[in-house]
């Protein structure tokens, strides 16, 4: 019976130490980082699109954390400089991801800024890459006999669109594309984000995309 009290104190001490080292200290370290002037907060449309991104489970196939050259050839893949803490200043929760069934998306807005490309790709990835295993999201779109004023018509190759009429992007599709186009961390990282070897100053994301 007398051993329970010291055991409880030891357990509380271990929990307090773990909380300090794994939660409080990293939080203080991250909060002290400089937010780059080039990094702007998300707009309302982009935030709605981010919610769609989360709801579709995109994080299960895409990461948002380009790595340094000693970890992966992400720079050679055109995915941009390695990510630093300040890149996620406006992300809550972050979408770092661990799987790369598809490419890293932290700089997809820089690599592929075209709204039309993203809409086509979301409606039917095989319309762009015939080998793609990415799921299609036709429920984010609407088929109409004729586009109305203000509608955003999706450009589709022959054989991928309806036999008649047009495919129009829905609000969720437009918001999701707005979020994807906002993903651009090709600016130089703040000096206080650089490691001793200066890895975060590598060249920005390249052009083009291979899914």
Question: What does 38-79 look like in DSSP terms, one character per residue?
Answer: T--PPPHHHHHHHHHHHHTTGGGT-------TTT--TTTTT-
pLDDT at 23: 85
pLDDT at 211: 53
DSSP code of residue 153: B
**Contact criterion met (CB below 8 Å) for 156 and 119:** no
- Provide the mean pLDDT of the chain: 89
Alpha-carbon dihedral sign for residues 47, 53, 59, 64: negative
Q: Does 145 have pLDDT greater than 80? A: yes
User: If you average pLDDT over residues 188-195, what whole number do you get?
Assistant: 71
Q: What is the DSSP string of 157-189?
A: -TTTS-SSSEEEE-HHHHHHHHHHHH----SPP
Per-residue model confidence as pLDDT tens digits over 56-69: 999 999 999 999 99
pLDDT at 42: 98
pLDDT at 1: 55
Res. 196 pLDDT band, cuts 50 70 90: very low
Alpha-carbon distance 17 to 120, whole Å? 51
What global pTM score does this model have?
0.83
């Amino acid at each position: 019976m007398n051993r329970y009290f010291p055991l409880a104190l030891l357990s509380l001490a271990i929990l307090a130490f773990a909380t300090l080292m794994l939660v409080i200290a990293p939080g203080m370290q991250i909060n002290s980082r400089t937010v780059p002037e080039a990094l702007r907060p998300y707009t309302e449309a982009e935030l709605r699109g981010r919610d769609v991104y989360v709801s579709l489970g995109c994080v299960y196939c895409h990461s948002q954390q380009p790595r340094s050259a000693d970890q992966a050839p992400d720079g050679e893949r055109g995915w941009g400089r390695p990510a630093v803490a300040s890149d996620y200043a406006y992300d809550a929760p972050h979408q770092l991801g661990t799987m790369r069934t598809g490419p890293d998306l932290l700089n997809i807005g820089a690599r592929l800024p075209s709204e039309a490309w993203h809409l086509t790709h979301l409606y039917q990835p095989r319309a762009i890459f015939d080998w793609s295993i990415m799921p299609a999201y036709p429920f984010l779109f609407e088929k109409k006999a004729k586009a109305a004023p203000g509608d955003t018509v999706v450009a589709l190759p022959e054989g991928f669109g309806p036999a008649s009429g047009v495919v129009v992007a829905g609000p969720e599709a437009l918001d999701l594309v707005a979020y994807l186009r906002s993903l651009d961390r090709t600016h130089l990282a703040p000096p206080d984000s650089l490691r001793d070897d200066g890895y975060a100053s590598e060249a920005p994301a390249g052009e083009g995309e291979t899914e």
